[in-house]
Structure 1
């Protein structure tokens, strides 16, 4: 338990540094963009290569992956059902709402929490793969079909996951692990050094976004935002917990890992997708902000109960 709390304190401290730097105007939104792009396109893929290349593949394609997929399916399914039958959202808005309900912040918060709180950055891989291979392609395909202005070929739609830097880094790391290939020091050491930037860069950028980013406003019914946050922070981790503990029989460490990861807040790139397709923008913005703020006590409670 002490190690888990220490991990949260470590992460929180770096986020506060980002907020302080933004408050003092040392860093601004441009700095946030640079840090985020550096982490997303360079440092995170390097981190995934070095971490997954020395990870037993069976630990990734295991019950943890089943629990991750199950939790996503439960949260996404419950949102789609209510959105279409009760809230009467159209198809594009339903996609953004579904992302908001089930798409966890695996990059900006998932990697740091897996690395510092759970003690193994590779634990984020099952959820990351679930989102990059299953949830995101399905959702973006619906958006491409229903509202994209330009024609999207099926080849381009199906190849979308392979153009994601995190996906590429993860696949390369998995291939190295599968074939038991050890990178020579001249390759591994620079990758490890660059990968070491990923977590602090993400957290500082995240702190900047909390200080300077958009605040939730009016425009979306509170009950709809509240329902999304309920699914994201309560139902999804609860589904992961029940699957991990009772259906899959994971050990306590495995149960803690899948539950904590499922309880991560809505990913910020949901807001990016909403802006790109010009649909559900306010819904995504409010869901990201509210779930991020409320995820802190939720994650602490889960750690206290399960660690």
Structure 2
């Protein structure tokens, strides 16, 4: 894809995101409203979109095991690099290391990847296998470390706290919608057209609303580039440059992934750090300031680099 074509593809993304920033900066819409828009997208619109698309998808094509294996291997290498980097930086506390792994390896699917993929490819279905891997593997590892290192919080011992956290992560609307779509697809359950049309109608709003919410949040908080620490810059560089480059090398050269799937995986890896990082940091009282800064700044860097990635990996 040429540079001009890449920019044309991103015009809707920039319009929705930039509109949120502008309205928040001019105080036309209060930045605090970003939470309501984000909750609508995360809890309702994106699940509706994913359910309808997964239900109607060819699951054999959607679950390309070579591509998924390549992405899992890429994530494992990236996790190791972040852990070694954190230790070399002098960080020893397991929860602090786990938070940095999440910052450098996990991707913002609901608020960022879904709208970008809908705009560029016309579908966000390829994100689904990575979403499940991220929730069912990466997030559970982070939750386990956080819960086991959390002293005196909540009723019961570490095992019961961990079980509650795992259960909560697996019953989020995103995961439930994806699993329901798979189940109904495999069982060939016939759903009335009115149900699918309703899910499509709501799902079509996911992309602009999610980007608008992100823009509102950014417009309200600002950037503060001057106070960016070297550690923050390193994590953002890993997330926005190192991880997608690693995906390109590992998936393409080692696993032989080619064509559309290689483009999908590199672009997914290039998505910013998820907003859940800040939620985890607040819940477990570790690296709150670092997480907020990385989430916001990686989002801006990802938008700036998207034309480059599109021009590089999309035919």
CA distance in 1, matches of 2:298, 2:91: 23
CA distance in 1, matches of 2:71, 2:261: 11
Q: Which one of the candidate residues 267, 272, 296 is aligned to 1:265?
A: 272
Q: Which one of the candidate residues 197, 203, 215 is aligned to 1:189?
A: 197
Counterpart mapping for 1:179-218 below 5 A: 179-213=187-221, 215-216=223-224
- Alpha carbons of structure 1 residues 219 and 15: separation in structure 2 relative to 1, 3 Å: closer
What SS does structure 2 have at the residue aligned with 1:88?
coil
Detail structure 1 runs of 4+ shifted over 4 Å in the superposition. Answer: 216-220
Q: Which residue of 2 aligns with 1:145?
A: 148
What is the CA RMSD across the aligned residues, in angstroms?
Answer: 2.0
Q: Which residue of 1 aligns with 2:294?
A: 287
Q: Is the 8 A contact 1:64 1:126 kept in 2?
A: no
TM-score by length of 2: 0.90
Q: Deviations over 1:273-293 (max 9, x none)?
A: 111111011221221122222
What SS does structure 1 have at the residue aligned with 2:286?
coil
Q: Structure 1 residues 248-257 or 36-45, which shifts more?
A: 248-257
- Structure 1 residues not aligned, in runs of 5+: none
Q: Structure 1 residues 147-156 or 89-98, which shifts more?
A: 147-156
Counterpart mapping for 1:41-190 below 5 A: 41-62=43-64, 63-147=66-150, 149-150=153-154, 151=156, 153=160, 154-190=162-198
Q: Structure 1 residues 209-218 or 42-51, which shifts more?
A: 209-218
Aligned length: 306
What SS does structure 2 have at the residue aligned with 1:87?
coil
TM-score by length of 1: 0.92
CA distance in 1, matches of 2:60, 2:246: 22
- Alpha carbons of structure 1 residues 297 and 24: separation in structure 2 relative to 1, 3 Å: closer
